[in-house]
A and B are shown apart, each in its own frame.
Chain A
Amino acid sequence: MSTQDRISFGETEERTMLRDTLRRFLSDVYSDEQRNASLATEHGMSSEIWSQLAELGVMHALFDEQVGGLGGHGYDMATVFEETGRAGMVEPLLENAVLAGGLIADLGTADQHALLEQVMSGQHQLAFAHAEPGSRYDMSRVATTVKPDGSGFVLNGRKAVVANGSAAHSLVVSARSAGPDDAEAGISLFLVPADMAGLSMRGYPKIDGGYASEIELDDLKLPGDALLGPSGEAFPAIEARICAAIVAVSAEALGAMETARQLTIEHLKTRTQFGRPIGKFQVLQHRMADMLIEIEQARSAVLNLAAALDGPRPERERHASATKNLIGRVGRLVAEESIQMHGGIGMTQEYALAHFARRLVMVDHEFGDTDHHLERFIAFSQARV
């Protein structure tokens, strides 16, 4: 069936149940106070929330059945992350269950897979240390080196803005064994316990919640079994997992848009100026209408990519870039318009909108921004003619 003839958009009984369960759980427990409490902890996450998410099977829904999960498809990611985005959840689900955990699932040996059980049960934290100070959004630019060292390896280099780095018990680290800095060939992945000598990090808070780290690898010595997947050929798996991460953050942004929309509608209905609710003013009505239309576009873009995630690479990546470009634009629009229509109160950190506006804008700084993906969409489109 061609894209045009789709009618179901991935809706199944299981996903409807997952959505309902997660939405109910988060609307019960994940208040603004809970978010602030999560953010006030050392690593920006609540251990209670984290173990409850694990009990609900949210992480299982994001992993493939072959590694003990229950889903792991594009629509599963879209379902889960729309809800976490709607609640403004800051706990590091993406880092654990999509990026580092996903790479372990895709590439790991049976021994390495064993770790995933602890991840899914919420007892083990992961991070993906891939981007570097000079790599910006270029997925294949890896200057960190790996050299043989007896039966093992030695790594040297720096990793940038590693989300959940400081909380992680283990990290998935990329390093280059061959080729120029930006070559797709020659990249390997390693599964690294966080407490290894030779690995040091500086942790810091993110503007949109949670923590990240700058990491230095200084003669980090690893045993031979630390290698994750085939030596020098990790790029296709990295690209595919970043594509899954784009599904996740796009869906998360969609959820955040829905909340920003709801907050803004309430404000327009209740805020009175010049003797009437400001929603009576047509100039604001029309801005609201434009926002609503674009949010529908964002939902469609998320569904398009969720459908393409399990498909062949060129179409998958073309859709990834289309969706991320659109989400970047709409996310910024919704954040800026919501702040503007709120007026002064929209500027305050205390008001709920603040978190959603920050997150919506910062999503554009993860896994490639609007311009990066526009350029990439063009490249993939031209390649298919």
Chain B
Amino acid sequence: MPTQVDLGEFRNEVREFLRQKLPARISNKVRSGLRMTKADFEEWHAILNEKGWLAVNWPVEFGGTGWTAHQRFIFEDEMCAAHAPRIVPFGLMMLGPVLQKFGSQAQRDRFLPRILNGDDWWCQGYSEPGAGSDLASLKTKAVRDGDHYVVNGQKTWTTLGQHADWIFCLVRTDPDAKPQEGISFLLIDMASPGVEIRPIRLLDGEAEVNEVFFDNVRVPAENLVGEENQGWTYAKYLLTHERTNIAGTGFAKAGLDAVKRIAAQEMTGGKSLAANPLFAARLAQVEIDLMAMETTNLRVIAQVAAGQAPGVESSMLKIKGTELRQQINDLTRRAVGPYAIPFVSEALDEGSNTQPVGPDYAAPVAAQYFNNRKLTIYGGSNEVQRTIIAKQVLDL
């Protein structure tokens, strides 16, 4: 066992920290489903960084927490319960571990401190219009020209790219190799000439994701991570690295608590919705599944602690966790009844003078339901995950 940490004490320490340091203004926004600004995320990141708790999956030598999977699970659980904003994952969860494992010393020295300090906001350049689940078919190409790569192509579904200073990209550097073998991992400054970003408005009315276009963008060759044509290996490392929180158990638990609070306030047939046998049954069914999933998640964490890398278990957690969260979003939307219908965008801005039409809690739930349809699509769609699971056990 790599740690002798008393997990109960650790949980108390996290809870106490959140009680003292999480600004009420921010947790109120998260609880109320109001629109989060870049400044909100940055403010919260800075508070976590001051405590040394921002890079939860980095080793101590790089300025991370060095926490075990179990500690990270508890941390996320408490963060969700306290309505803290999620840690924006792109620089911290995704790029950081890749640079630590495959980056040059110069890249680590240059980029890792800036991620911690909030100097750089990173986004992820993987998906393309023609490369979703079949990511290895990506076409954005980088051609070496002296000390530079010249990048042409298009990325899409770039989450929060509108805030980003940098993008880490998978690009094709060898068009003649097998799809997985001609891909490189490149770091691109979003301010480079030839980079253009356009928002994509989604079902929820928000523009959380973007298209990013590259038109003869010159990228210094020193921004190549690791070796040319090895990018697929690095990206895959990212997909299997420390994915023990992939189920989003903490988010599901917080969501379940929220729908219970709403159901206690909504009335139907002269009684509270929580007392309605049909609704109570649907809710209880989700809660029972969630109780089991939390233990499934902890069992996978225990395996990691015992030195086994999670393989197919990550896929199982991804599927079960995302489907449960969608069920919770669905119940929440149904819980508010007709007041799911009003769609007053300004009411979701902090301090807006526009009053929501129905109860405060009803304003964001339909949009949240639509937003979270993404859960079963991104990070390897649940269908891709099912195929991974089946291939592993059937071995055909």
**Which residues of A are at the interface with B, using a C-beta cutoff of 8 A?**
1-9, 265, 268-269, 277, 279-280, 282, 285-286, 288-290, 292-293, 296-301, 303-304, 319, 322, 325-326, 374-375, 377-378, 381-382
Contacts and interface: CB of A to CB of B under 8 A. Distances in A.
14 contacts: A1-B8, A5-B7, A7-B70, A285-B391, A285-B394, A288-B389, A290-B386, A296-B296, A299-B299, A300-B292, A300-B295, A303-B295, A325-B288, A374-B288
B394 A268 contact: yes
A165 B281 CA distance: 36
Given A7-B7, A377-B288, A292 B295 contact: no
A286 B390 contact: yes
A322 B119 CA distance: 48
Nearest to B295: A300
Interface in B259-289: 274, 280-281, 284-285, 287-289
Given A5-B7, A325-B288, A293 B316 contact: yes
Contacts of A381: 284, 287
Given A285-B387, A289-B315, A304-B295, 17 more contacts: A2-B8, A3-B294, A5-B74, A269-B394, A282-B387, A282-B390, A288-B389, A288-B393, A293-B316, A293-B319, A297-B296, A300-B295, A301-B291, A322-B287, A322-B292, A325-B288, A378-B281
B287 A304 contact: no
Contacts of A297: 289, 292-293, 296, 320
Nearest to B396: A279
A268 B395 CA distance: 10
A113 to B, nearest CB: 35
Contacts, number: 120
What's the dominant secondary structure at chain B's contact region?
A: helix
A9 B394 contact: no
Interface of B: 7-8, 11, 70, 73-74, 77, 274, 280-281, 284-285, 287-289, 291-296, 298-299, 301-302, 305, 315-316, 319-320, 383, 385-387, 389-391, 393-396
A4 B249 CA distance: 11
Contacts of B385: 289
A375 B281 CA distance: 7
A269 B293 contact: no
A318 B74 CA distance: 23
B284 A378 contact: yes
B347 to A, nearest CB: 30
A4 B77 contact: yes
A285 B287 CA distance: 28
Contacts of B73: 4
Given A1-B8, A282-B387, A377 B393 contact: no
A297 B320 CA distance: 9
A292 B393 contact: yes
A298 B389 CA distance: 17
B284 A289 contact: no
Contacts of A377: 284, 287-288
A269 B394 CA distance: 6
A381 B296 CA distance: 21
Given A293-B320, A378-B284, A286 B295 contact: no
Nearest to A294: B320
B75 to A, nearest CB: 11
B389 A4 contact: no
Contacts of A289: 315, 319, 385-387, 389-390
Contacts of A325: 285, 288
A208 B288 CA distance: 27
Contacts of A8: 302
Nearest to A307: B295
B377 to A, nearest CB: 16
Contacts of B281: 374-375, 378
A340 B184 CA distance: 45
A299 B316 CA distance: 14
A9 B302 contact: yes
Contacts of B8: 1-2, 5
A347 B41 CA distance: 58
A304 B394 contact: no
A376 to B, nearest CB: 10
Nearest to B297: A300
A279 B11 contact: no
A274 to B, nearest CB: 14
B5 to A, nearest CB: 10
B302 A7 contact: yes
A286 B387 contact: yes
A300 B302 contact: no
A266 to B, nearest CB: 10
B36 to A, nearest CB: 26
B393 A265 contact: yes
B387 A296 contact: no
